[in-house]
């Protein structure tokens, strides 16, 4: 199985600060772990450097005024007055923010291009998955919505393409749903802790798509402490039939690891074994419905020292079609 890892050390420039929970170490440590396990290189994933998204790429998803604000705050990050969701709080401004965010968004385009051009069967944008960014504002640690930017680029390139987006992050993939709310060529699916209990407070079963795309959104809110069996059942009964019926040409996934029971910002109950089984189900679904064409993104995950790197290394094994070693997902 040909798998591309879209990666550069420069992606770690997307850094909201040393005291912020959204740490770049969640993916840099994962990449280190993958190297140690021979998952990268001649016997594993081929590394491709990302190129930054252009303003034209970003404008498919974001407003021009918002992009200008991001650039302005990148040059003057000490501004205390919040603008378009950027400022003190969840998504603080930092020097070079636009360039760092555009590189993450460009990595999503690079990953999709690798698959659509036939150079890879699957691709992994490990630093991506910033699914909360909206058309005109940042939110939830996310400045530019890289999954949406990548999908929008693909639709512009091939207007006949059908894309299924499946998001297993603990938080609702609200920004991606918003971007394609009225787009019948995109199915957005989100499994997440119910918005009754967790940010962003959306993602209810009644949210099913816009007037020109009824049924294009599927939300599967999970109750607090939902664990491996509940996730497996919800995926089998809700997600898999919906994706099969949609019959996409490409599967795009957001693989946040914050539904794990050790995550400090959520109250779900997945184990590493359960997470690994869930991402393996996504890979198997891509084999069934898209001839294996799949683009995976990282996402959330705040137990960054150990849990998230192990989870995303398990995902790399699955993308490569290899069994996940028991020691990688063993827990006390």
pLDDT digits (tens, 9 = 90+) for 205-258: 999 999 999 999 999 999 999 999 999 999 999 999 999 999 999 999 999 999
The pLDDT, as a whole number, for residue 82 is: 83
- 47 and 34 in contact (C-beta within 8 Å)? no
The pLDDT, as a whole number, for residue 309 is: 98
**Closest CA relative to residue 10, chosen from 67, 68, 64, 49:** 49
Q: Provide the pLDDT confidence category of residue 303 given band limits of 50, 70 and 90.
A: very high
Question: Among this protein's residues, is 297 annotated catalytic?
Answer: no
pLDDT tens column, 90-141: 999 999 999 999 999 999 999 999 999 999 999 999 999 999 999 999 999 9
pLDDT tens column, 4-61: 999 999 999 999 999 999 999 999 999 999 999 999 999 999 999 999 999 999 999 9
153-159 contacts at long range (C-beta below 8 A, 24 or more positions apart): 153/57, 153/60, 153/108, 153/109, 153/112, 154/112, 154/116, 154/250, 155/183, 155/185, 155/186, 156/60, 157/116, 158/116, 159/185
**Closest CA relative to residue 30, chosen from 11, 48, 51:** 11
Query: Active-site residue among 62, 84, 132, 171?
Result: 132
Is residue 240 helix, strand or coil? Answer: helix
Mean pLDDT across 255-269: 98
Domains in the chain (CATH in brackets) are 3-328 (3.40.800.20)
CB atoms near residue 238 (< 10 Å): 16
Residues of the chain with pLDDT > 90: what percent? 97
The pLDDT, as a whole number, for residue 230 is: 98
The pLDDT, as a whole number, for residue 12 is: 98
């Amino acid at each position: 199985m040909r798998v591309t890892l879209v990666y550069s050390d420069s992606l770690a420039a997307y850094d909201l600060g040393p005291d912020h929970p959204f740490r770049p170490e969640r993916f840099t440590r994962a990449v280190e772990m993958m190297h140690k396990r021979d998952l990268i290189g001649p016997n594993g994933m081929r590394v491709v450097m990302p190129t930054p998204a252009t303003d034209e790429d970003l404008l498919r998803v974001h407003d021009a005024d918002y992009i200008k604000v991001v650039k302005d705050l990148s040059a003057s990050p000490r501004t205390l007055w919040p603008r378009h969701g950027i400022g003190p709080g969840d998504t603080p401004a930092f020097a070079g923010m636009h360039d760092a965010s555009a590189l993450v968004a460009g990595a999503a385009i690079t990953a999709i291009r690798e698959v659509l051009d036939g150079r890879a069967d699957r691709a992994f944008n490990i630093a991506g998955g910033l699914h909360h960014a909206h058309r005109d504002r940042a939110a939830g640690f996310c400045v530019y919505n890289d999954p949406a930017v990548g999908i929008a680029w693909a639709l512009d390139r091939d207007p006949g393409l059908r894309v299924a987006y499946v998001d297993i992050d603990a938080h609702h993939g609200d920004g991606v749903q918003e971007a394609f709310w009225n787009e019948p060529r995109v199915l957005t699916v989100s499994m997440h802790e119910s918005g009754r209990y967790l940010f962003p407070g959306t993602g209810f079963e009644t949210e099913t798509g816009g007037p020109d795309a009824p049924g294009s959104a599927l939300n599967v809110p999970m109750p607090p402490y939902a664990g491996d069996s509940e996730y497996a059942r919800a995926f089998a009964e809700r997600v898999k039939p919906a994706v099969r019926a949609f019959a996409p040409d490409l599967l795009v996934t957001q693989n946040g690891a914050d539904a794990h029971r050790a995550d400090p910002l959520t109250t779900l109950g997945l184990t590493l074994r359960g997470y690994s089984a869930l991402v393996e189900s996504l890979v198997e679904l891509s084999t069934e419905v898209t001839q294996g064409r799949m683009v995976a993104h990282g996402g959330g995950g705040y137990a960054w020292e150990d849990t998230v790197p192990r989870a995303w290394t398990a995902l790399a094994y699955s993308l490569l079609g290899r069994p996940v070693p028991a020691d990688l997902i063993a827990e006390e």
